[in-house]
Amino acid sequence: MITRRSSLADVAVAVGHALRSSGIRAVLTGGACAELYAPGAPASFDVDFILGATVRTEDLNRALEALGFVRRGDRYTHTKTPFHVEFPAGPLAIGQDTQITPTIRTRRGARTLALSATDACRDRLAAFYFWSDRQSLAAAVAIARETRVSLAKIRAWSDAEGHRKGYETFLRERRRAS
């Protein structure tokens, strides 16, 4: 149940649970995923899911209407929360890396597929590297500060993406935040 007091993480997991219960494979990404690993991390008001296969709009509508969401253009909105749900185009990838293994996250009895902590950190770093989004850098730092992540995997991915300097900025900000 989504109420006016539902947090971004509450909404994200409730939506993911509703999608899973409807047989729709979708992986939580973006700022809402970062919020699962670092509550209070800079986030947005959208809940992004990447669909694992082609899904009929009617099936998405049915799954989300059960929670009180209504389709408005390319997003789903709810009268009791400022957070909206979107389904960016796939495939599931972080930069050029498409070998992503989602994990199950549980919150208040609901379960959703989501990026791992390391992949959520890389996802936020991708927004920093490719669009100079400092809010996403802050979210990546918060994830790395609050949750165990593989710095070796993040460094190797950053190098492969051609963003070694961005990775060094991330490390400096992480040390500063500790």
User: Tens digit of pLDDT per residue, the chain (178 long)?
Assistant: 899 999 999 999 999 999 999 999 999 999 999 999 999 877 789 999 999 999 999 999 999 999 999 999 999 999 999 999 999 999 999 999 999 999 999 998 999 999 999 999 999 999 999 999 999 999 999 999 999 999 999 999 999 999 999 999 999 999 999 8
Residue that is last in its domain, among 66, 84, 114: 114
What does the alpha-carbon distance between residue 119 and residue 141 come to, in Å, rounded to a whole number?
13
**CA-CA distance, 15 to 110, in Å (whole number)?**
9
Both 100 and 172 in one domain: the answer is: no
Same domain, 121 and 153: yes
**Considering its fold, how many domains does the chain have in total?**
2
Do 12 and 78 share a structural domain? Answer: yes
In a domain, 49, yes or no: yes
| Judgement on whether residues 20 and 82 belong to the same structural domain of the protein | yes
Residue 7: per-residue pLDDT: 93
Tell whether 83 and 164 lie within a shared domain: no
Please state the separation of Cα 115 from the chain's center in Å.
Answer: 7
Residues 36 and 46: their CA atoms lie apart, in Å, by: 14
Domain hosting 140: range is: 117-177
Asked if 55 and 133 sit in the same domain, the reply is no
Say whether both 85 and 139 belong to one domain: no
Cβ neighbors of 11 (< 8 A, separation 6 or more) are 2, 32, 47, 78, 81, 83, 85
